[in-house]
Amino acid sequence: MENLIEKIISLNGKTAVITGGSSGIGAATARLLSQAGAGVVILDINQDQGETTASNIRDNGGVARFYACDITDETQVKTAAAFVKKTYQTLDILFNNAGVIVRKNVIDLEESEWDAVVDVSLKGTFLVSKHMIPLMKANGGSVINTGSGWSLKAGENAAAYCAAKAGVLNLTRAMAIDFGKYNIRVNCVCPGDTDTNLLRSEARQLGEDETVFLKQASARPLGRMGTPDDIAKSVLFLACPLSEWISGTSLLVDGGGLA
């Protein structure tokens, strides 16, 4: 039985690309997928932090590389895809995770802020998928997009983020339909409030006390915020054979918050 369990969660011999992988949920996922046996390529604009994350994975016996990439720039994404193809030939797992948030309503929101949020979360998911999915066609694979609880239900003073994450969810469904014939599964993980620098930045943007803000974020049935590791485990589930007949759906990981 132990061998069976190991087999159905194993990613041995697999290659994974993770956007926004230098910190937070992305870094936690890079570590966990590496522990499950995958070779990991971290894409991020933060070179110092990305190199550190990849180095730490290697120091712990994993296989990880960092590649600097602005996922809103198609030329850079093409170059990153070429690097993955040259290094690994094929790709098995794509985690479209990079995102930013601006906590404003549509009146207060600047056009540049709208563009920044939508470009990273939605356009970035499109561009990376466009150039990485062809590497999956030969052998199949799993694409996991990061949505949000606000993909399913809107929140206050987060217009661009809610729009972008709702778009990511329906893009997920469309991609699942289009690429299922290649045995490529596409799903969306939808985290609730997770203890990351991104969440803490929301408190500052809203002018709220960080301690109070985080306490409010913990007010859910399971009585705590999520951790990056909580979300990473859900990504591992969607990446490994445990979920081999799951595609085109969203997995809400929020401690019961939306309930």
Question: Catalytic residue numbers?
Answer: 161
Phi, psi angles (nearest 5°) of residue 178: -70, -35
Q: Which residue has the tokens 């190991």?
A: 6
Phi, psi angles (nearest 5°) of residue 96: -80, 95
In this structure, the dihedral spanned by the alpha carbons of residues 73, 96, 125 and 136, taken in order and rounded to 10 degrees, is 90
Phi, psi angles (nearest 5°) of residue 249: -125, 175
Contacts of residue 184, defined as CB under 8 A and 6 or more positions apart, other chains included, come to 133, 136, 137, 140, 141, 142, 143
Strand ordering across the sheet containing 63-68: 63-68, 39-44, 15-19, 93-96, 141-146, 184-191, 250-253
Nearest 5°: the CA angle 7, 246, 150 is: 120
E strands, 89-201, where? 93-96, 141-146, 184-191
Which two three-digit tokens encode residue 228?
Answer: 């990056």
Question: What's the rounded Cα separation, in Å, for the pair 195 and 197?
Answer: 7
